[in-house]
Chains A and B, each alone.
Chain A
Amino acid sequence: MTVPDTGVRVEPGSFRDPGNRVFHRAGEVLRGLDERSARDWRALSASDLFRDLTAAGHLVGTEELVPTPVDVPWAAVLRHDRIPFVSHPYEWSYAMLRDAALLHLDVLRAALEAGFTTKDGSAYNVQWRGARPVFIDVGSFEALRDGEPWAGYRQFCQTLLYPLLIQAHLGLDFQPFLRARIDGVEPDQMRRLFAGTRRWRAGVPTHVHLHGAMQARHADASSSDVRAQLRAAGFSRELALATVRGLTRLVRRLDHRPGDSHWTDYQRTCAYSVPDRQAKEDFVDRAAAATAPHSALDLGANDGRYARIAARHAAYVVAVEQDPGVVDVLYRALRDEGEGRILPLVMDLADPSPGGGWRGVERAAFVDRARADLVLALALVHHLAIGRNVPLPDVLDQLAALTEPGGSLVVEFVHPDDPMARRLLANKPDGLFPDYRWDAFEALLARRGRVVARAELPSGTRTLYQVVMGG
């Protein structure tokens, strides 16, 4: 269905279900429903299920616009509470993906008990408010037809269960698998990964091998025929619930900690002396207070120390860190504190999430989502400029692009004679980075904004700057 030009921006990631589509207008997140989806919505919104899931914070806050706007071609229009920062499953840590899977199963179990089901089972149905997962696809609920298995099971396997199995059983980071394939990992690929004795690991014989074999065997059968046959053979709601319980038990068992193998990077924060750390914390706190940001971005967040300081002054903080194990530890800590305003994400800033899916815009690229009023780039520039050979002006261009005009960039320059910088330089040919000097760095900063604060750390080899960008 085409939407006439009425100030509406259709969400490029929302087209897979033609019956309902998310769009943006005047800063609001709206969802248009066709006749059938509108009937499903009205049944859902009148139910205890909807009330309970919303009250528990498991379902994104949603209300219907009454009367229905006449300038859009939909039978009903819903307004959703805004998600502060939209992230993709390949930017989550292991425990985040696992909690997203558990939330999805919990929502499905409650739905089945109340006579509803979900049309799909995708990881993309879940978003985050800080360290709290929330189910956002209100358009996915429909009335349960008794005797039918869950239509979303295949998607659940491909985008949630299989990535968890890959990491828990094989010790491989799941993120590249999901980033490379928008629809997740297929059973056929999983069977190759889980050959030999690995086929006996928890969840693998049924959800991978049997599932894959069944798909191959029934590739030609129409799913509506199979539905009818299953109903006739006595498939019931109790059986559907038993499947959900089995999946929940399995996902709970997959309590793997990727942190065990990733802690090598931890010394990056431990390299600081106590006076340096104190001075740095004070500087970040003052800069954040002076900026009073709505949104903050901590690039290279590590254990989240500075993201937490930013959160004293910002409404919402996205804490980006390259090491999935470090992000996992941070996420677990934030989750246990019930933190709803700091979102930790896995991201290599030298290779941030590109646009993905249809036309490369179905899943927005990180740089197109991540503008913030306050950007922290602490102990980061030397990793990009020396460690990854990114030219210093390009590093600063990227940091400037991520900062809203008038917002603040708080950036740390690690001098070439700093022990950490020396270690990075020792791995590179001599004289490779003649422009990596503090005077060159300051000149580059001055060209992009106004330096409003500057502090040298007590060790004398690191300098902090607060730069107001383009304003």
Chain B
Amino acid sequence: MSEIVKDFTIESYLEYIRNKKLMGSKCKDCGETYVPVRKLCTKCNTANMEWVEMSGKGKVAAFTSITVGTPFFVEKGYGRNKPYCFSVIKLDEGPMVSGQLVGVDESKPETISVDMPVKVKFLETEIKGETRVDLGFEPA
């Protein structure tokens, strides 16, 4: 029996992330790949997708180092003395995604550079006894 294909929804995509898989949808008609997932291909206006797993490799397209963070990151202990790096990553497969960039010197952002090769790193945070998994990256 073949595996039931998950619907191409945000929740399916996030469930894959929680299982530490970076998945996208690929249009069976034109080959365009979407990460985060999309059900409708806006290149050819069809909804004929299949799931594909990304290699998790890519390059930094743009980044910042944030000292005044969102409530979630403040709760994680980031702030004025411990900035975090938000990045847009261009995956080797083509699409771009947003994620925290770790394993870099956030307090010396001049040392981080656009085009730097990175690989996926799923980031686990304990919140109220539950483990949350977020998409992140680290230098390759």
Q: Do A and B come from one complex?
A: no
| B positions within 8 Å CB-CB of A | none
